[in-house]
Amino acid sequence: MPSLLSADQRRHLEVLGATHARLVRGGCDLLEALAAVTHLVLVLEDLHWSDLATLDLLAALGRRRENRHS
């Protein structure tokens, strides 16, 4: 959740290679890995208050084509 970080902390992450696209991809991979080993329920409330990074993560999850579980 990049919005919780200061500008200096975000720049430090980018220096380490944690770009926005990589963070979104990593978030999707994390949720898929968790769902592979246990039941996973995402509760989405008050999306109108979401920051852009959260919306990007949700959009990326929605774009994933693979159906992991029937």
Phi, psi of 35 (to 5 degrees): -65, -25
- The pLDDT of residue 37 is 94
- The pLDDT of residue 45 is 92
Q: What is the pTM of this model?
A: 0.64
- The pLDDT of residue 66 is 65
Q: Cβ(2)–Cβ(20) under 8 Å? A: yes
Which pLDDT tens digits describe the chain residue by residue (70 residues)? Answer: 667 778 887 777 665 666 788 888 888 999 999 999 999 999 999 989 988 888 999 999 999 866 555 4
- The pLDDT of residue 64 is 82
